[in-house]
Amino acid sequence: MKQSAAVRPDPSILRKAAIASGRAKDYRGKVEIRPIPNFDLDRTIFQTLEGKAARFVMRSRVGKEPHWKPAAAERVEARYQKARARHPLPEVDPKLIQFLVDECDFDVEHADGSFLDHLYFCFEYNVHHYPEQSPLVSLLHSILGTGTNTFAMEAKKIPALKEHLTDFEWAHIAAFPSILRLLYDLRLRAELRANAHRIDSLKRIDFHRVIDNEPMSLSGEDFWIQLNYQLIHLIDFLPVANWVTHANDTAFILFRDLYDLLESFGKLEAAVDYDPPGLLPTFDGETPSLAMITDLIPVPLSEKMAAKSVQQFSAKIGHSLDFTLTF
């Protein structure tokens, strides 16, 4: 994230579409999906992923990019510019930007551009569609670790980072990597659903911080806010098109279930409209290939594979996935 940190990137068309509409949507018919030339998984946040099968699955899911039909791209651009005019982006504290430039390293790629592009997408979506809560949380959500054990800064720099944040911002930034892993680990979502009858009486969740395994907690109120931040983050990992075909994509599975959980509990606060997948698989604008054999993995198995992966990543760094819900 070196000198580029002070330069706000121009979002991709897909990100502009999400920001302008506040919607997670299947864009089949508006894009063509093509392999990314010379794609290198080791230049992404998935560089630490081990095992030929796991790397093949991930490469097939992220090693491609959308090419928008001109008319569709022009409509998105027009809507995006109108949205930006209605919601000017706030300036980020220059001292915080300098800290990110001098003390942090986000020099990895994302499925769609750089990791910095991903962070700014979350920040911008937050400004437009979750204005009640600080967008700095979305901008810095991965500063203390990703789900694949990449870290933008060392734990010893935490005191310096905290100087630039409110207590609320710090709590949610520090909690984000942990809650993300707990969501993928399956047990948290299962326990929340098992307690649906008393969900409004949730007082606290206790868990462990990813970067150093320090114990943490969030109040019940903050926990629901945190899950809304998580939902925004997941929008940027959804398949671009042909959702039925790619229904077993792990980020898409988590997004669907988290959306349903928040909506059913009456806790969906961020503006995230969602058009569920249809019934029949489609390959509109996408040429079937050997890599798409990964789309045949059953959804329950795909979830279990993701949970196992998270458990392995946490075990490697001595991070506990234990948590306690207090009602």
Any idea what DSSP says for residue 155? G
The single-letter DSSP state of residue 8 is: P
81 touches 17 (CB < 8 A)? no
Neighbours of 245 (CB within 10 A): 22
Give the CA angle between residues 213, 214, 216 to the nearest 5°: 115
- Per-residue pLDDT, 66: 87
**What value does the mean pLDDT of the chain take?**
89
How many structural domains compose the chain? 1
Q: Rounded to whole angstroms, how far apart are CA atoms 133 and 317?
A: 31
User: Structural domain of residue 315, as residue ranges?
Assistant: 3-326
Q: What is the pLDDT of residue 3?
A: 37
**Segment 139-145 mean pLDDT:** 94
> Which string of b and e fits 170-185 if b means at least 16 CB within 10 Å?
bbbbbbbbbbbbbbbb
First-to-last CA distance in the chain? 41
Q: Is the pLDDT of residue 4 over 60?
A: no
Q: What would the two tokens of residue 241 be? A: 């098109």
The whole-number pLDDT of residue 100 equals: 86
User: Is residue 144 within 8 Å of residue 128, measured between CB atoms?
Assistant: no
pLDDT of residue 113: 57
**57-72 per-position pLDDT tens digit:** 666 666 678 899 999 9
Tokens of 29: 């018919």
Write down the pLDDT at residue 309.
Answer: 93
- Residue 121's φ and ψ, nearest 5 degrees, are -60, -50
Phi/psi at 267 (nearest 5 deg)?
A: -115, 10
pLDDT at 291: 55
Which pLDDT score is estimated for 1? 41
| 136 within 8 A of 169, measured Cβ to Cβ | yes
* Residue with the larger pLDDT of the pair 137 and 117: 137
Residue range 61-116, pLDDT digits in tens: 666 788 999 999 999 999 999 999 998 999 999 999 889 888 988 764 444 557 78
With beta carbons less than 8 A apart as the criterion, state whether 180 and 115 touch. no
